[in-house]
Amino acid sequence: MVASGSHRQGLFALLLVTVVWGTTFPAMKQISSDLGALEIILLRYLISSLVLLPLLRGLKWSELRWGAGIGSVLFCAFFLQVAGLALTSSNRNAFVTGLNVLIVPMLAYLLGQRMGWPVLLGAALAVLGLGGMFYEQTPWSSGDTLTLVSAFVYAVYVLLFEFSAKAANRPRPERLAVMQSLTMLALSALGFMLLEPASLGSLLTRAQGHSASLIYLGLLASAVMVWLQAWGQHRVRAVEAAIVYGLEPVFAALAAVWWIGEVLQGRALVGGALIVLGVLISQIDPGWRTGAKLAKE
């Protein structure tokens, strides 16, 4: 495996982001007993935006456009995923969402990017691993279709980070983070007011019992990780980032064992091992990385 120092740092940053994302699963599961999905994201990004707000100083117009655009795409992916979850099982929802591990390389190829065999093999192993962790023998539903559309939108979100890194006026990661967070807050607040205005009065009361989890989600999982994700993806190709993100269900399963006492089945362990193997294989350098490095800060 061959990688520059900047590339290795980007991979490590995205790995850390994925670990933290995985730990949010049991936290979200506990909070969802009292709060709806839009309420959770509203409070989560309210905390995140308050923390990141000082970074708005010196914001450039190009950074505002990139951050708002990326944040809007992420919100669409999240909204479609939640809409799909209401019509299908959580396991199937997670599996179909994870298919962006293949969708990102496919879209990148259609946009003219070269795909080395390690990336293709790594993506295939990651999808097999996801199947081992989440596959269910149930008929395809409208919820699955919504979730699949969400996976495509999320793939666009991952690719947009790479495009922003190559832009003439490349936005700074911290500015992308604050604008993405503010956009998520604004759109979730709008959705909440349109879809769930009656529950506004009791929102803070219901949230009080989950203040520690909400602070964790807003401060670490959102504010810090949104910045770290932007920083890392400016150093790693989108197709590699998508495979690293495929590790999220592995870390989610491990966090659920520790946090809420869930038990891992043998097939899930094999699936997790395949995803890890896919990530490792994707880092074998077939020769394209030397000629396709992202710009360094």
Tens digits of residue pLDDT in 120-162: 787 788 778 777 766 666 677 888 888 889 889 989 998 998 8
Q: Which two tokens stand for residue 143?
A: 């919820």
| Distance (Å) of CA 243 to CA 120, 155, 246 | 10, 11, 5
State the pLDDT confidence band at 290, using cuts at 50, 70 and 90: very low
Q: Which pLDDT value is given to residue 48?
A: 94
Report the share of the chain in percent with pLDDT over 70: 80
Q: Which two tokens stand for residue 2?
A: 């061959």
DSSP code per residue over 137-153: -----HHHHHHHHHHHH
Q: Which two tokens stand for residue 204?
A: 């803070």
pTM of the model: 0.78
d(CA 103, CA 105): 6
Which residues, 6 or more positions from 253, have their beta carbon under 8 angstroms from its beta carbon?
Answer: 22, 133, 262, 264, 268, 272
Does pLDDT of 17 surpass 70?
A: yes
Q: Which pLDDT value is given to residue 259?
A: 58
Q: Which pLDDT value is given to residue 291?
A: 42
d(CA 131, CA 135): 5
Which residues, 6 or more positions from 242, have their beta carbon under 8 angstroms from its beta carbon?
Answer: 100, 101, 103, 104, 105, 123, 155, 158
CA dihedral 187, 192, 197, 202 (to 10 degrees): -120
Of residues 116 and 214, the one with the higher pLDDT is: 214
Reference 218, options 50, 39, 71, 74; nearest CA is 50
Report the share of the chain in percent with pLDDT over 90: 22
Q: Which pLDDT value is given to residue 71?
A: 94
Does pLDDT of 89 surpass 90?
A: no
Other C-beta atoms closer than 10 Å to the C-beta of 37 total 20
Give me the mean pLDDT over the 201-213 stretch. 84
CA atoms within 13 A of residue 58's CA, in its CB half-sphere: 6
Asked if 249 and 105 touch (Cβ cutoff 8 Å), the reply is no
DSSP code per residue over 59-101: --HHHHHHHHHHHHHHHHHHHHHHHHHTTS-HHHHHHHHTTHH
d(CA 42, CA 90): 21
